[in-house]
Chains A and B, each alone.
Chain A
Amino acid sequence: MTDETNPEDFVNKRGGDYSHIKGWGIDADPKNDPTYPMKKRTDEEIKGYTWERPPQQPVNIEVLKSVERPNITAVFGTAMPPKGLSGAIRRFAFKYSESSYARWMQLVLADRIGVVEGYIDDFSKGYIPNVFVERGWIAEWKYNRKNFILKAALTATVATAGILLLTKGKKKD
């Protein structure tokens, strides 16, 4: 298909008959005009923190807080408190506003460092991650064997070349 197609080729073939589509128009609302914003609050509620706040979840871990809000939310997640070098970078990043590049770029950097820390953490616990499984390559083997073999061969070639280069270098010493 090319862009040279004529508009006539796309005349609506339904001709206004939607009887085969179950529920056609069931939620049509002529007043659904998104250019008019809804207002479902009282003027009292736009004055800031005037709502009755839920009780505060005890803050017994480190929670990084956006500078754009005055408090820690009543409830927060406790998945992975900041730690290590990545944590230090995250703490620093949170000194910047949410609209600042500096904040997000530092967080991206911290994420990458976190990956390395993750490996160190695994090894320190005597756990050697099975990267093959973790990258989901079993599925590649199941559903895309050709590509799997191709990639495996390529990896093996690169690895062999690398080992050859390394051993060659060692002999020179």
Chain B
Amino acid sequence: MLAMNFRGPFRVRADHNQPYPEIEHPEDAIVRVLRSCICGSDLHLYHGLVPDTRVGSTFGHEFIGEIVEVGSSIQNVKVGDKVMVPFNIACGKCAFCKQELYGNCHEANSQATAVGGIFGYSHTAGGYNGGQAEYVRVPYADVGPTVIPDWMDLDDAVMLTDVVPTGYQAAQMGGIQPGDTVVVFGAGPVGIMAAKCCWLFGAGRVIVIDQYDYRLEFARDYADAEVYNFKELEDPVVFIKKTTDSLGADVCIDAVGAEAAGDTMNTLLGRKLLLQGGSTTALHWAINSVKKGGIVSIVGVYGPIDALVPIGNVLNKGITIRANQASVKKLLPRLIEHVKNGIIDPKQLITHRIPLEEVAEGYHIMSTKLDNCIKLSSHTAFSIKKKYKFLRN
């Protein structure tokens, strides 16, 4: 079958000779992918920043599709169902799943305990092949996959597998109280979505900081945010203090993660030499520009290695830091409601659509921000020529 195949940093290919996935566990399902996206956090893998990203792996944690085969104990979904598949793989039974911390499941990743199982996200996140393929194995298919309502656009559905819940949770973890000033660092799809969701929690002012004008314009139009390009600011932290009457923002959201630009030392240590879990510039800015007693919410992805974080300021300012991978499954019912009521319109973020065959170009476009790309989706359906081999019954 056709699947994306990672060959090393900055090098991937659309490979027609990848093996079909198989049912390996009674709670597995096989899904024929209808849409998959390339995510900003896929770029961390693409750039070689996440340890144990093995050559030959297939990425893709944002996908939707049709169930074509189920394991013997599957009850909640059936062949033919069109489902959105949360990016986190969760068993639904362990101590953490019971707390609805589906992003922190303890039965999905043998390789590490800090991070749960994630589709197509290196062996550090469990060694699963992802959805940038024609077919994908979905473990614990009774727990994660959620049937796409008839009225929902498939482009909206694919955004509900990561971007929308992650942005929403970023705002939620900020503990926003009505009237609060929120600063979102990063105007990628998640940052833009986070900015949008801040209003739902009653924010009084939403500020977005990024280095690309086209993304800032998008954030302004889509999320009604005030936007600033940090390249035009002498010091983003001083700037935010000044715009908030010298107190700092009530809430800061880091929607950037490991590949933040804007600071030479962090770039060198985190991105070039890989001596820390990524460049932590955005996190520095968030910690330093939040008010005392404020809340910093982190959804940007960092590597497992230590990172230089101004922990002294965290202590002295009495900051609460909240961070997690989104618990997609937990948030979906509410978010589906918001999409239905037109409060969130996720598909607007998709600026590029490509066939899976052009996945290498897709990665390059995302990585170098070509053609004002915000979000790129690949339509596997374009590329399916042969009949599915599992349809044998």
Task: List residues of chain A with CB under 8 Å of any chain B CB.
Answer: 1-3, 5-7, 10, 12, 14, 16, 18, 20-30, 32-35, 38, 40-41, 45-46, 50-55, 57-58, 63-66, 68-69, 71-80, 86, 90, 94, 98, 101, 104, 107-108, 110-112, 114-115, 117-118, 122, 129-131, 133-140, 142-144
Contacts and interface: CB of A to CB of B under 8 A. Distances in A.
A70 to B, nearest CB: 11
B55 interface: yes
A26 B200 contact: yes
A32 to B, nearest CB: 5
Contact of A80 (B54, B117, B179, B238): B54
A76 B28 CA distance: 11
B229 to A, nearest CB: 8
B360 A3 contact: no
B364 A75 contact: no
B304 interface: yes
B110 A104 contact: no
Interface of B: 7-13, 24-28, 48, 51-58, 73, 89, 91, 93-95, 98-100, 106-114, 117, 123-124, 126-129, 139-140, 172-179, 197, 199-202, 204-205, 224, 228, 232-235, 238-239, 242-246, 274, 295, 303-306, 320, 322, 334, 338, 341-344, 358, 360-365, 367-368, 370-371
A73 B93 CA distance: 12
B199 A73 contact: no
A137 B362 CA distance: 10
B112 A139 contact: no
A82 B100 CA distance: 33
B196 to A, nearest CB: 9
A32 B178 CA distance: 11
B51 A111 contact: yes
6 contacts: A26-B338, A32-B177, A45-B95, A75-B108, A75-B139, A98-B304
A41 B368 CA distance: 45
A142 to B, nearest CB: 8
A74 B177 contact: no
Contacts of A90: 52
Contacts of B124: 107
A51 B98 contact: yes
B27 A34 contact: no
Given A25-B200, A51-B93, A57-B24, 11 more contacts: A3-B239, A16-B204, A29-B201, A34-B320, A53-B93, A54-B27, A69-B113, A75-B25, A104-B303, A111-B51, A136-B361
A143 B371 contact: yes
Contacts of B8: 114-115, 118
A163 B98 CA distance: 63
A136 B365 contact: yes
Contacts of B99: 38, 40-41
A66 B112 contact: yes
A63 B48 CA distance: 22
B98 A40 contact: yes
A31 to B, nearest CB: 10
A22 B246 CA distance: 30
